[in-house]
Amino acid sequence: MLIPAVITTLVVVIGITDELTLQWQTTRAIVTGPLVGLLLGDLQTGLIVGATIEMMFLSNVIVGAAGIPDVTMASAIATALCIVSDVPQEVAITLAVPVAIFGQFMSTIRFSVLGVPLAHLADKPAAQGDVKGVLRTPVIGLIVLNLLYIVPTFIAVYFGADLVSAAVDKMPTELINAFGVGSNLLAAVGFAMLLTMLKSRKLLPVLFIGYVLAAFLNLSIIGTVIVALAAAVLYATFSKPEVEEVS
Amino acid sequence: MEEKKWEPLSKKDLWKVFFRSYWIRTVNCPDRMQSLGLTCSITPVVEKYYPTKEERAEVMTRYLDEYFLTNPVMAEWIIGIVISIEEKIAQTGAITRDAVSGVKTALMGPLAAIGDGLYNGTLRPVIAGIACALALDGNPIAPILFLIVMAGVNVFIRWTGIFWGYRQGASFFTRLQESGMLKKLIEAASLVAFMVVGAFAATNVTVNLGISWVTEGTETVTTLQSVLDGIMPKCLPLGFTLFTWWLIEKKHLKPLLLIVLYLLGGILLYYLGILA
């Protein structure tokens, strides 16, 4: 299990480094899942596990300092275990939940325990007018914070794979079906979170247009997006300009 | 000495600021949040205008000690404005750095709201949702599409922040806000998001009832689900999503708690025969 563990850890490192610097969103399950899948030789599983976990956590946004459930580690580990230990997808997706909770706990540690000493490493070079020294601080921070994720990811895949596959072997099919039913409900949380982010509540009726397009007319998601974009352009063109404080 | 050497920031300097501004949220800490990232972002200006260690120390310590927190993608808008003020400070010496603190404090709240609401809160979930729909169909383009859109928008906002923010200063942002454009953009984005969530809820949340009965005298088995589907297909997933929204917004239940509850609840209801 050494190679899958190394590959999964690598994908998590890419995600965490991106989250801390570029923010191109390689942190998200929709990227990490397929990437782990591709590298472990099962892209299809990666796409499905990644997409399902992504929908669960569709709209978790860091607001201020609060820790959020971790999607990067959760999706990478779940995808890897699903492929390596031949776990049914329903079970792998369920496994992502405890990992995400553990990740949230870790992000709190990262911020409040490690953040203070790491950020204050810059104090001394700054006081000495040492620009290079100040610029070195985030590099050190990046390495230390990555280590925080490397260790649990590697352990989870390296030691977890056999444990999980042994446990799943003993699992009755009924229970696996039940996991499927439970995990099918989880996307509702992601979509509900997205709704809480939308502040223009007067536009809520549009939600039912989207629903009718998909449920009654079986329009694909791309079709729905085209309708939505057209409606948005019309709305912006014909609504009367209002001057209001944005905040 | 420096007065003779003064010249405006060059393109190269701005690019340096652009790249170093990617450190904005690498090391956050509760007492200062992104102040280290901001300090790193303005180091090209410090290097250019202040040759002595004492001056550099003064400027960097000031930035480092001041609390700074905004949306990391929108932070460049503030950085662009800050370096334009820093340039004037170096040129004339007439302005104090309180002007910088003023701009930071005034803009970091509203920009955080826009960035969290539009980029992280609307654009990302909508694009991710589309990508998820494609991925569930087994289309390998899905993650690539998601990354191209997100990285493209990210680089564009950051680039405009540094280059336009530097050139136009705070006036650009004020004008944008006063013209009502920003509000329209937010509303148009909400419209797209609402429609897409309506469609997502119908297609990606699965709630199937397991309850069925046999009509007396015949052999036909009727499921409650088929009755409901005949009236209003996918009404349970939609209702369930709206119910979850209500739980989060009005009852203030934590999303993670709901995930655990739904998972366990789903398993339980399956065994009770209510869900299939």
CB B154 within 8 A of CB A22: yes
Contacts of A166 (CB under 8 A, 6+ apart): none
Distance from CA of B217 to the nearest CA of A (A): 32
Which pLDDT band holds residue B5 (cuts at 50, 70, 90)?
low
**What number of residues does chain A have?**
247
Tell me the average pLDDT across A70-78. Answer: 94
Cβ B237 vs Cβ B200: under 8 Å: no
pLDDT of residue A106: 87
What letter does residue B122 receive in the DSSP assignment? I
pLDDT at B179 over 80: no
Q: What is the pLDDT of residues B21-31, one digit of tens each?
A: 999 989 988 88
Give me the sign of the Cα torsion angle B78, B82, B85, B87: negative
Q: What is the pLDDT of residues B87-104, one digit of tens each?
A: 989 988 878 889 899 989
Selected residues 6-65 of chain B with any CB under 8 Å from a CB in chain A = 20, 22-23, 25-33, 35-37, 39-40, 43, 46-47, 52-57, 60-61, 64
Distance from CA of B184 to the nearest CA of A (A): 6
For residue B154, the chain A residues in CB contact (below 8 A) are 22-25
Helix, strand, coil share of chain B (percent; to 5): 75, 5, 20
pLDDT of residue A64: 46
Tens of pLDDT along B44-62? 999 999 999 999 999 999 9
Contact B52 A94 (CB under 8 A): no
Contact B120, A58 (CB under 8 A): no
Secondary structure (3-state) at B50: coil
Are residues B100 and B85 in contact, defined by beta-carbon separation less than 8 angstroms?
yes
Mean pLDDT score across all residues of chain B: 90
- How far apart CA B85 and CA A156 sit, in angstroms, is 50
Place B2 in a pLDDT band, splitting at 50, 70 and 90. Answer: very low
Cα(B28)–Cα(A118) distance, rounded to whole angstroms? 9
Mean pLDDT, rounded, for B201-205: 91
Name every residue whose Cβ is closer than 8 Å to that of residue B186 and which is 6 or more positions away in sequence.
Answer: A199, A200, A246, B114, B117, B118
> Which candidate, B85, B33, B95, places its Cα nearest to that of B64?
B33
Nearest to A21 among B22, B241, B247 (CB): B22
pLDDT in tens, A108-152: 888 888 989 999 999 999 999 999 999 999 999 999 999 999 999
- CA atoms of B37 and B47, how far apart (whole Å): 16
Q: Is the pLDDT assigned to residue B191 strictly greater than 50? A: yes
Among B117, B142, B235, select the one facing A197 at the smallest CB separation.
Answer: B117
Higher pLDDT, A66 or B120: B120
Q: Is the pLDDT of residue A159 over 70?
A: yes
Nearest to A188 by CA among B242, B157, B147, B117: B242
CB burial string A143-161: b at 16+ within 10 A, e below: eebbeebbebbbebbbebb
- Check if the beta carbon of residue B6 is closer than 8 Å to that of residue B92: no
List the one residue out of A195, A178, A62 whose CA is nearest residue B200. A195
Domain boundaries, chain A: 2-197, 200-247
pLDDT at A154: 96
Copy the structure tokens of residue A193: 């979170």
* pLDDT score of B3 more than 80: no
Q: What is the pLDDT of residues A196-235, one digit of tens each?
A: 888 888 999 999 999 999 999 999 988 999 999 999 999 9
Residues contacting B209, CB < 8 A, separation 6+:
B223, B224, B225, B228, B236, B274, B275, B276
